[in-house]
Every structure is written in structure tokens, then in C-alpha cells.
Amino acid sequence: MDMSTQSKKADFHVDVQAMRERARKGLEDGAVTDTYRADRETVLRLLNDALATELVCVLRYKRHFFMARGMNAEPVAAEFAEHATEEQQHADRIAERIVQLGGEPDMNPANLAKRSHSEYVEASSLEDMIKENLVAERIAIDSYKQIVDYIGEDDPTTRRLMEEILAVEEEHADDLSDFLD
């Protein structure tokens, strides 16, 4: 540790009285304090887009779970069901964060397909279902990486949430690509 870092750490002081006064102001903003550095409207738009993406993925996975047929369908259908459950958990976490930031989760069915980064493709064969879900996971991976990069250090809670979801999306893509091998 260099001397300037040591000096900076030694000089660190929390103004508790000022923090208490700020906390009493803007109570209607809930978790969003004046130290929030991100553009909240942009973050809310990005989160609602991610929410739509997750909900479209839930619907696609559920359809594919029910429609999976063929000799090797059982393990693939089980994977579709597991992914649908995890995508719903992602959607719930994203919706919760939107509310924490003072926004409203857009779950209007008319808006989902417009906002979603991935598409709802029904697919007819088991192989096509796997491929369409893999395409959707790859899209989610790319878009969530961009969201993480955009948010950076300005909103660490949202960044961590999206990083955690991103890690699961990468696992999903890996699972699906294994079925294609």
C-alpha cells in the first residue's frame, strides 16, 4: 500500500450526523438515497427490458417443456422445466429491484414481446427447441453483460443482481449446448 492510500484510509471519516439528516429527507424514495449515482430512469428501462426477456423465456421454456417429444425428450424436457423455474426466479428478482428503485415492473403481456431481447419461438422439433432456447440464452448473456458494463460502479446492487443472473444464463447455455453435442 502506498503512502497516499494509507493517508487516505487514515483520514476516512463518516459524518454520521449528516448521514442521519439526509436519511430523514426523501423517505418516499425508499432505498434510493442521494448517494445513488446511476441514471435511475435508464436503469429502470434496462431492468424492465430484462424483466420482459425473462418472462418471454419462461413462456418459451414452459411451452417447450410440454411439447417436447421423442426418444430423448425426457431429460431435455426436465431441463426446460428447470430453466423455466430459474427464469421465473430471475424475473421476480428483477421486478423486486425495479420496485426498490421506485419504478413499476412492466408485466403487461402486450409489452413483453416488444421489450424482450429474446424472441418467443415455438419450434416444432426437439432439436429446434434446444437451438431456440440456446439462441435466447446467448442473447440474454450479451445483453446482460452490456447492462452490467453500463451500470458499472454507479449501482452496485443492480450490477450484482445482473451478474448473478448472467452466471445462471451462462450455465443454461452450457446445458443446452451439451444436448446438441
List b or e across 23-44, with b for residues whose CB sees 16 or more CB atoms inside 10 angstroms.
eeeeeeeeeeeeebebebeebb
Q: Cα–Cα distance between 6 and 106 in angstroms, integer?
A: 47
Taking the CA of residue 119 as centre, how many other CA atoms within 13 Å lie in the half-sphere pointing to its CB?
A: 7
46 phi/psi in degrees, rounded to 5? -65, -40
Question: Is 117 known as a binding-site position?
Answer: no
Question: Is 21 known as a binding-site position?
Answer: no
Is 76:126 a contact under the CB 8 Å cutoff?
yes
Question: Is 90 known as a binding-site position?
Answer: yes
Question: Is 172 known as a binding-site position?
Answer: yes
Question: Is 104 known as a binding-site position?
Answer: no
Binding-site annotation: residue ranges? 54, 90, 137, 169, 172
Binding-site annotation: residue ranges for Fe cation? 54, 90, 137, 169, 172
